[in-house]
Amino acid sequence: MTVWSIDARSGERRRGFPTTGAEEVELACRRADALLPRLEEAGPQGRAALLEAMADALDHRVDALVAAADAETALGVGRLTGEVARTSGQLRLFAEVLREGAFLDVRLDAADSVRPDLRRMNIPVGVVGVFSASNFPFAFSVGGGDTASALAAGCPVIVKAHSLHPETSELTLAALREGARTAGLPAEVVQLVHGREAGTALVTHPLVRAVGFTGSIPAGRLLYDLAKSRPEPIPFYGELGSLNPLIVTPGAAARRTEEIAAGLVASVTLGAGQFCVKPGLVLAPRGDALVEAMARHFAELGPQVLLGDGIRESFEAGAGEREALPGLRVAASGRTGGDREVTARLLTGHVSALAASELLLEECFGPMTVVLAYDDEEELLHALAATPGNLTATLHSEPEEEKLAARLMAVMRARAGRLVFDAYPTGVAVGWAQQHGGPYPATTEPSTTSVGTAAIFRFLRPVVYQNCPTHLLPEALRDDNPWRLPRRVNGELTLP
């Protein structure tokens, strides 16, 4: 069978890639498992050099990468050029994590009259499977955050390429492998498979010890269940779907109507609404001013191309279902276009519509949002509490509404992993303090993140060496601290 690279704008076939068979997945897993010692021997410094060499290789090939990705996704040269930079930046950030050393979480307790000598550190979990995302062909795909954090942890990676950008995936793999060779490590520290069956085989293979996934709820839940039903279940770090509610208080609606309307519409339609943190539900006080202001911006929007036929068909079906719900109306639409383009939609109604249909509590992937009006604080709080787990929750309020904001924030914190104030959730900064995860169905493991330096902990596990002879200890646990790591010794944090 063949996976075809499809031009997102024309629908024409560009190039075919053979799907990966079960025997090839088996070989890939065995090859990856055999490379675990090489990554461990490289140590933090060697793996940092690996990640930096991979970043350099991506940057050197940016033009070819962007050309392929733009053809396959229609996301635009400017957006994709920035995404390559974000991807190489993630790799370099994890190089910093490795050189800083705290990710190993080294703890030493000296033996005394009541306890043995205990030395604890994090080690790699093993081979990691990564599923590429449709909407980020670089930052959440072959060379993206899951791959960067897994390699940083010392885990070889096998990536399941997304069917919407197979050529981009192959070109990215070639860049990463060039980087690996430059760093003196085997190119196969990252491998690539194509096809749905290969993805299933990857999740169920006994040598795969953890999986990172970004995609839809149905696909993610299917793979999650496979990962957990294995004879030896493994962690499945899935980012599935998020509504990302945005709340506008009466004070904010009165004072910043135009500002909020413009910012909100830009956030909803960024990347044709194909961001996992797009605000898909807006809770605003009763009154037409905000909706009318948003409607003016929506009416100016041109038609947009989505990532692929399946995504476009799902968006049209989902938008149509919501438009048909009792109590909802289309407040505005963007300009119409060709058969392969979609029209942005703004729907509005009253928060009572949430009780009438659970559909409004589900993500609709594409350029659409729903603004629901509330009459009082209790109605607002009740509506917000009804939302499922989210990646983000956003609040626009005024200083004199401190008590209301505090009540809302308590609910927001229970329902989301990142709380945004007087801004918009689209745009996930990559840094040391970022959290990109939330209660289910936003993610399957809400205590972890897929963006930021803490992502590395998904692919590590702690091990304690008790009364271990010095000559058998890993270098990170030796008394002379040859790697110059920050460590906690008898409860006291010591810096190199």
Active site residues: 239, 276
- Tokens read off for 326: 């009792």
How many Cα atoms sit within 13 Å of 446 on the Cβ side? 18
| Beta-bridge partners for 190 | 157
Output DSSP code: residue 469: -
CA 440-190-5 angle, to 5 degrees, is 80
**Number of residues in the chain:** 496
**How does 256-285 read in b/e, with b if 16+ C-beta sit within 10 Å?**
bbeebbebbbebbbbbbbbbbbbbbbbbbb
- Name the residue with tokens 């993805």: 199
Cα torsion angle, 447, 367, 281, 393, sign: positive
Alpha helices, H only, 357-478: 377-385, 402-415
Yes or no: say if 134 and 162 are a contact pair by the CB < 8 Å rule: yes
d(Cα 11, Cα 23) in Å, to the nearest integer?
Answer: 32
Verify cis geometry, omega within 30 degrees of 0, for the bond prior to 441.
yes
Backbone angles phi, psi at 153, to 5 degrees: -70, -15
Output DSSP code: residue 479: T
Yes or no: say if 219 and 371 are a contact pair by the CB < 8 Å rule: no
